[in-house]
């Protein structure tokens, strides 16, 4: 019997994988780069690569349901007359009205308020929905200055000077014309229906020395009442943190590359900036070197999903974390109940990231009056509050197991890393060893 030549199994390239091929075809067909939200999707070193050790003979735990584990945090005690006091160290990150619908902003305010934390405006000014429903509201001061005015500055509980964000350190924004409703256009002082570019640099200051003077102006306008945050993308966390402190910030916010409800080019999201995990220790180190750790608070964002992530960030020296993507999911974003509509948009629940296009089936990242009705701000706010409370309970569970009566007592010594990369980035030993890569010359 003749032996036929056996065929080899068709093999696809690891370099030119299906996604890459589809992106080349898409670019060739459309002549424009892909823009999307949702932050870096590639696999990155992250909190999953860290583990807590828990209690042992030398460390004893706290009783899970009986012994108190404090979760509160005070932000802005350095200079502000009225620092912010939060019940939990998880805040809601800045997301603009314009990007998000009015009901979605209201839901964020409601959820954050029930849970005892703050929410944040975005690149589109302050809306009544969010001011009215947010006990504590952080007002972003952005390069575009869309909607900026002194009345809202004084109605805010804190001011966040945004230098950059994790999705695009060094990049500006673009809100496509289809999301520019009459109301969005009015708030941004631009004609309806045109693409709105957000500048990447502030119009009236450049560099740390100017920033110091700009912060002085904001303090003078608000009579030194409001805490002033400075938010940077995860680019040079050591120096950016140090310079923000030098410029007079009360709070430094560092946003890693997994962060990004902001829409920008796929190539930007995936290739610029550092992972959240890589940003934390340099930022903490900068504060420690300046003697400002715990005096200037550090907030970290980008890929925070659960109480373990919160606890790990705090153990590495962070004062609070911030969530954006996870908050939208809690409101109902990417819910499989809309699968048929996601399919019609050429995607699937869990992968939908064209938040900038205004056709969000979940009704969150849209200005379409019919779609936005799908968000019930009360119910969605309740879901967000539930989620925030679960994350807090989870973080407390871990902290108690480590013998800590406050989340802020967690420390790097409670952690080990599963990979050499994570060990090096977090500055904690590789599991099963006492080796911290890069420390003591090894």
Write out the residues near another protein by the rule CB under 8 A. Answer: 30-32, 144-145, 148-151, 153, 174, 177, 188-191, 194-195, 197, 199, 203-205, 210, 213-214, 216-217, 220-224
| Comparison of 191 and 438: residue with beta carbon closer to another protein | 191
| Comparison of 41 and 246: residue with beta carbon closer to another protein | 246
| Comparison of 221 and 390: residue with beta carbon closer to another protein | 221
Instruction: Give min distance, CB of 215 to another protein, in A.
Output: 10
| Comparison of 206 and 348: residue with beta carbon closer to another protein | 206
| Separation of alpha carbons 243 and 235, rounded Å | 13
Instruction: Give min distance, CB of 351 to another protein, in A.
Output: 24
Give me the residues paired with residue 297 across strands.
251
| Comparison of 174 and 345: residue with beta carbon closer to another protein | 174
Q: What burial letters (b/e) apply to 206-230, b meaning 16+ CB within 10 Å?
A: eebeebbebbeebbeebeebbbbbb
Show the CA angle centred on residue 391, arms to residues 269 and 142, nearest 5°. 40
Instruction: Give min distance, CB of 194 to another protein, in A.
Output: 4
Instruction: Give min distance, CB of 195 to another protein, in A.
Output: 5
CA–chain centroid gap for 381, Å, is 18
Show the CA angle centred on residue 326, arms to residues 321 and 328, nearest 5°. 125
| Comparison of 72 and 189: residue with beta carbon closer to another protein | 189
| Comparison of 114 and 174: residue with beta carbon closer to another protein | 174
**Structure-token match 């890589």, residue found:** 278
Instruction: Give min distance, CB of 359 to another protein, in A.
Output: 17
| Comparison of 24 and 194: residue with beta carbon closer to another protein | 194
In order, the DSSP letters of 325-380 are HHHHHHHTTT-GGGHHHHHHTT--TTT---GGGS--TTSSS---HHHHTT--HHHH
Pairing type for strands 73-75 and 84-86 reads antiparallel
Instruction: Give min distance, CB of 269 to another protein, in A.
Output: 18
| Comparison of 190 and 364: residue with beta carbon closer to another protein | 190
Task: Single out the residue of 413, 441, 442 nearest to residue 428, CA to CA.
Answer: 413
Alpha helical stretches, state H, 18-82: 18-30
| Separation of alpha carbons 341 and 182, rounded Å | 26
Structure tokens at 126: 């302050």
Instruction: Give min distance, CB of 214 to another protein, in A.
Output: 7
Q: How many C-beta neighbours within 10 Å does residue 249 have? A: 28
| Separation of alpha carbons 417 and 435, rounded Å | 10
Instruction: Give min distance, CB of 295 to another protein, in A.
Output: 21
Instruction: Give min distance, CB of 219 to another protein, in A.
Output: 8
Instruction: Give min distance, CB of 145 to another protein, in A.
Output: 4
Q: Using DSSP, state whether 109 is helix, strand or coil.
A: helix
| Comparison of 91 and 127: residue with beta carbon closer to another protein | 127
Instruction: Give min distance, CB of 119 to another protein, in A.
Output: 23
Q: Are 119 and 110 in contact (CB under 8 A)?
A: no
Q: Using DSSP, state whether 158 is helix, strand or coil.
A: strand
Q: How many C-beta neighbours within 10 Å does residue 273 have? A: 30
Give me the residues paired with residue 107 across strands.
none
| Comparison of 10 and 203: residue with beta carbon closer to another protein | 203
Task: Single out the residue of 75, 90, 57, 86 nearest to residue 395, CA to CA.
Answer: 90
CA–chain centroid gap for 316, Å, is 17
| Comparison of 149 and 343: residue with beta carbon closer to another protein | 149
Dmax over CA atoms of the chain, in Å, equals 95
Instruction: Give min distance, CB of 296 to another protein, in A.
Output: 21
Number of H helices and number of E strands within the chain?
Answer: 15, 16
């Amino acid at each position: 019997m003749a032996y036929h030549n056996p065929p080899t199994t068709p093999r696809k390239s690891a370099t030119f994988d299906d996604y890459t091929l589809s992106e080349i075809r898409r670019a060739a067909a459309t002549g424009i780069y892909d823009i999307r939200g949702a932050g870096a999707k590639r696999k990155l070193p992250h909190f999953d690569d860290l583990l807590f050790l828990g209690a042992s003979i030398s460390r004893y735990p706290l009783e899970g349901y009986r012994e108190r584990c404090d979760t509160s945090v005070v932000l802005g005690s350095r200079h502000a007359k009225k620092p912010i006091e939060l019940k939990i160290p998880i805040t809601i990150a800045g997301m603009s009205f314009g990007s998000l619908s009015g009901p979605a902003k209201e839901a964020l305010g409601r959820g954050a308020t029930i849970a005892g934390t703050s929410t944040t405006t975005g690149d589109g000014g302050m809306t009544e929905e969010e001011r009215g429903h947010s006990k504590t509201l952080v007002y972003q001061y952005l390069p575009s200055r869309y909607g900026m005015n002194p009345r809202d500055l004084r109605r805010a509980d804190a001011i966040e000077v945004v230098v950059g964000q994790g999705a695009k350190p060094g990049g500006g924004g673009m809100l496509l014309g289809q999301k520019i409703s009459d109301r969005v256009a009015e708030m941004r002082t631009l004609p309806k229906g045109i693409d709105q570019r957000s500048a990447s640099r502030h119009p009236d200051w450049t560099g740390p020395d100017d920033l110091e003077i700009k912060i002085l102006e904001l303090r003078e306008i608000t009579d030194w009442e409001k805490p002033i945050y400075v938010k940077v993308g995860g680019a040079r966390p050591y120096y950016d943190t140090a310079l923000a402190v030098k410029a007079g910030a009360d709070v430094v916010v560092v946003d890693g590359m997994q962060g990004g409800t902001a829409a920008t080019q796929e190539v930007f999201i995936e290739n610029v900036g550092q992972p959240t995990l890589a940003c934390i220790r340099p930022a903490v180190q900068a504060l420690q070197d300046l003697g400002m750790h715990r005096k200037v608070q550090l907030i970290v964002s980008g890929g925070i999903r659960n109480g373990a992530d919160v606890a790990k960030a705090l153990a590495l020296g962070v004062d609070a974390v911030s969530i954006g993507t996870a908050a939208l999911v809690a409101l109902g974003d990417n819910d499989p109940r809309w699968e048929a509509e996601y399919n019609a948009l050429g995607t699937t629940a869990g992968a939908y990231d064209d938040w900038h296009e205004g056709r969000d089936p979940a009704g969150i990242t849209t200005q379409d009056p019919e779609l936005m009705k799908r968000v019930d701000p009360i119910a969605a706010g309740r879901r967000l509050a539930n989620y925030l409370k679960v994350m807090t309970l989870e973080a407390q569970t871990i902290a108690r197991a480590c013998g800590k009566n406050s989340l802020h007592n967690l420390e790097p010594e409670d952690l080990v890393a599963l990979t050499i990369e994570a060990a090096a980035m977090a500055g904690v030993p590789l599991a099963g060893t006492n080796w911290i890569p890069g420390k003591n010359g090894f």
